Amino acid sequence: MAGRLVLHLRRSLDGSVPDPDWPKGARPAPFDSERHAQQVHALLRQAYAQGGGYVEPFAIWWPSLRDDSEYDPALVFIAVDERDRIVGVAQCWTSAFVKDLAVAPAWRRKGLGSALLHEAFRALRERGAAAVSLKVDADNPSGAQRLYRALGFEEVESYRLD
């Protein structure tokens, strides 16, 4: 049986990067690992479970992320609602790779994913990145692929995971 198809997408950061357009009731907030790591983890687990993916338990996930040589807390972009609950996260590696994007179900299709990614694009370009890349499951049911293509991502390669 063939494994799942993964798409590697890339977007140039040479052109203009729009300012984030935050949906009503959501705003960016600085990531503080002491306050936010567990909430981010919970959101990722929820999002990945709905998309057919998996996130390790917090006791494994957090040290693995925090200790990775490409991790920088300044590249964890969160959005909170009016009650300061995390409703979206984009986490990037220092290599200008979007490791994770997750949006709470109630906030999907409202522009929050786009706003988070535009925030990430600006930060990565300020660091000198010429392009940003990510990988997405071709069968992801969340509409992620549609979002990425609307934001200018193009397929670089595809491969199957067994």
- How large is the C-alpha radius of gyration of the chain? 15
Q: Is pLDDT of 1 > 70?
A: no
Distances (CA, A) of 46 to 18, 52, 55, 143: 29, 10, 9, 15
Least confident piece of the model among 45-54, 126-135, 145-154: 45-54
| CA atoms in the 13 A half-sphere facing the CB of 28 | 19
Model pTM greater than 0.85?
yes
Which of 30-39, 117-126, 132-141 is least confident?
132-141
Reduce the DSSP state of residue 9 to 3 states and report it. Answer: strand
Confidence of residue 73 (pLDDT cuts 50, 70, 90): very high
Domain boundaries, the chain: 17-127
> Pick the residue with more confidence: 123 or 143?
123
Exposed/middle/buried for residue 152 (C-beta within 10 Å: 0-12, 13-18, 19+): middle
pLDDT confidence tier of residue 38, bands split at 50, 70 and 90: very high
- What pLDDT score was predicted for residue 143? 80
- CATH fold for domain 17-127: Aminopeptidase (3.40.630)
Is the Cβ–Cβ distance between 120 and 77 less than 8 Å? yes
